[in-house]
Copies of this chain bind each other. A is one copy, B any other.
């Protein structure tokens, strides 16, 4: 009897995996994943079989993982939380009768937030700016409603070569609802090699360093910067 673990490995640094994720990898005979993400967990893989595929091979990758899981213990890995923009959905959509267990992880917005302070302390949302599978009009509508509702906003996949202007345009939408001194964090490679973060405001924001490995966090109307830390108050009387 096989089994498929859908594993969120967290941001990438081994220390930020859960113990359960480590155990699932160790127990597995085969590891399936996007080549770059497999590298993050190399020290755990040792002499296990690896099936790694390039970007945009998601459907094929999930098909292989499910097929292998019919008689082997297999882990398919996503960075962050496998259940937030990860592989958990596709696996469960395609599953027939294979045994599947989803193991959650630290999602990218949580990882990015921890580096710059405590920006996500109040009601917050995650929005992906990738239009591969979501119409851009719907993305802009969500950004606008989230800004109107004073949600803290974490932008996933904020910028790529194919859509260099979306981030600028979405920040303009947010500026219609928030003051110029609202903090904005750009965090690249949070909690893994190559980590870099900058705290701007809506007024000073510059997207030149933003790429697909970045998360952009925009504060709510109460967020502020103190000693270089981006803080959103929960509301306690201090």
Contact = CB atoms under 8 A, between A and B. Distances in A.
Interface of A: 8, 10, 13-20, 22-23, 58-59, 81-86, 88-95, 102-107, 110-111, 113-114, 117-128, 132-134, 138-139, 141-142, 145-146, 148-151, 191, 226-227, 229, 231-238
A90 B23 CA distance: 34
A151 B114 CA distance: 24
Contacts of A89: 118, 121, 231-234
Given A95-B227, A123-B125, 9 more contacts: A8-B110, A15-B20, A16-B104, A83-B110, A84-B120, A88-B118, A123-B139, A134-B235, A146-B149
A59 B133 contact: no
Given A10-B18, A83-B121, A118-B102, A59 B237 contact: yes
B231 A92 contact: yes
A146 B127 CA distance: 12
Contacts of A125: 123-126, 146, 151
A15 B26 CA distance: 14
Copies in the complex: 2
B84 A102 contact: no
**Sorted from nearest, which 4 A-B pairs have the closest CB atoms?**
A133-B235, A125-B125, A89-B121, A88-B118
Contacts of A90: 234, 236, 238
B93 A110 contact: no
Contacts of A59: 236-238
Contacts of A18: 10, 15-19, 106
A124 B84 contact: yes
Contacts of A238: 59, 90, 93-94
Contacts of A133: 234-236
A234 B104 contact: no
